Amino acid sequence: MTTDLGQLQSVEWEDPADAIERCYELGWTDGLPVVPPTVELVQRFLDRAGLSADAVVGSLPERRRTVTAGKAAASAVMAGCLPEYFPVVVAATRAMLDPAFNLVGPSSSLGGAGILAIVNGPVVRELGINSRNNLFGPGNRANATIGRSIRLILMNACAAVPGLFDRSVLGHPGKYSFCIAEAEAETHWRPLHVERGFAAGESAVTVFACEAPRQVRTRGGPAVIASTVADVASSLGTSMCTVGSTGDTSSLVRQGEIAVVVSGQAEVWKGWTKDDFRAAIHPRLRRSIADLKRAEEVAGEVEAGDEEKFVPLVADPEDILVVFAGGEERTMCAVMPSWGPKVASTAVTKAVEVG
């Protein structure tokens, strides 16, 4: 057996168990066993995407790293992907290596952000990427392995190794695998990728550097209806504006962007658009100067008028990424604050291309 990590080195073994252990010794794993990336397997992935091993997917100038398709394919093999998943992995890799994403920041920060991949378009149905129950949990090969591929690419091709360039103090489980799909076929809401400039018939991946999901049990009972959207907005506002979030505290706007996943039945939101939803919750995403001073997030003593002066969580409603996904049994939400202000890192969307 010959294993080749993106043309970096080649090692031969006869026993698959020894190959797995050797991958551990070489530091190629995320702590879990990997599929040894044989030359033959890597080539099958490259053929599926129509890429040569030395094709450049992107670069990380700050670390003098170039990510080739071969390196990405080897990581996708190790993660347990099927070859047909690889174009999605390539799109996600291109997105996180886009300068606007500023990968060096969230991948090395003490805050320990994960890289969330949100998949849209026909590829969701073609590959069976989960967009419903247990959205962020285990059980779906596509979600688990596509998300894991991103982490292995970060470690093996971008040097984001814990204790080296990954300086996360706590981290979170999404740093193993963090991939979901939007249930766009089951809602009248515009899909995320369409909101970001792509056609509905295109497939795309949006990457977002963020904290782990915070589940929000919205008020209004198991069948929240559109008339109670204020209750949903209130619940979200309370959960999203926690003092001590890892957002920027040096400016009035504490987060660059924030992602909100909304579950339940589409009928709940009949008559509402994503813009309506954003407009309803944005005014509630704030904390008073007095609150921030008491928490020592802002310097100084509480003064007269501080209770009436508010700091927004995000600058504009457009900075709220809204995704319809999760189980139908209840209208629950998940919120994921971004890594730092928008000038430091912003969500990026790239098309899924099949060679």
What pLDDT digit, counting tens, does each position of 316-327 carry?
Answer: 999 999 999 999
pLDDT at 229 exceeding the cut of 80: no
Q: Cite the residue boundaries of each domain of the chain with CATH code 3.30.1330.
A: 213-338
pTM for this one?
Answer: 0.91
pLDDT at 15 (0 to 100)? 84
Pair of tokens at residue 247: 């957002």
Most confident listed range (23-27, 75-79, 269-273, 275-279)? 75-79
User: Using 50, 70 and 90 to split pLDDT, how confident is the model at 266?
Assistant: confident
- For the segment 143-160, what is each residue's pLDDT rounded down to a tens digit? 999 999 999 999 999 999
SS (H, E, C) 162-208: ECCCECCCCCCHHHCCCEEECCHHHCCCCCHHHHCCCCCCCCEEEEE
- For the segment 97-145, what is each residue's pLDDT rounded down to a tens digit? 999 999 999 999 888 899 999 999 999 999 999 999 999 999 999 999 9
pLDDT at 2 exceeding the cut of 50: no
* Eight-class DSSP state of 26: T
Q: Please, which residues have CB within 8 angstroms of residue 346's CB and are 6 or more apart in sequence?
A: 100, 101, 102, 256, 257
pLDDT at 174 exceeding the cut of 90: yes
Q: Tell which CATH architecture fits domain 213-338.
A: 2-Layer Sandwich (3.30)
How many Cβ atoms sit within 10 Å of the Cβ of residue 271?
9
* Eight-class DSSP state of 263: -
pLDDT at 90 exceeding the cut of 80: yes
Beta bridge partners, 59, equal 66
Q: What is the Cα 202 distance to its own chain's centre?
A: 19
Q: How many whole angstroms separate alpha carbon 8 and alpha carbon 271?
A: 55
- What is the rounded average pLDDT for all residues in the chain? 88
User: Using 50, 70 and 90 to split pLDDT, how confident is the model at 37?
Assistant: very high
> Amino acid identity of 353?
E
Most confident listed range (7-16, 50-59, 279-288, 312-321)? 50-59
Locate tokens 């390539």: which residue? 90
User: Under DSSP, is residue 239 helix (H, G, I), strand (E, B) or coil?
Assistant: helix
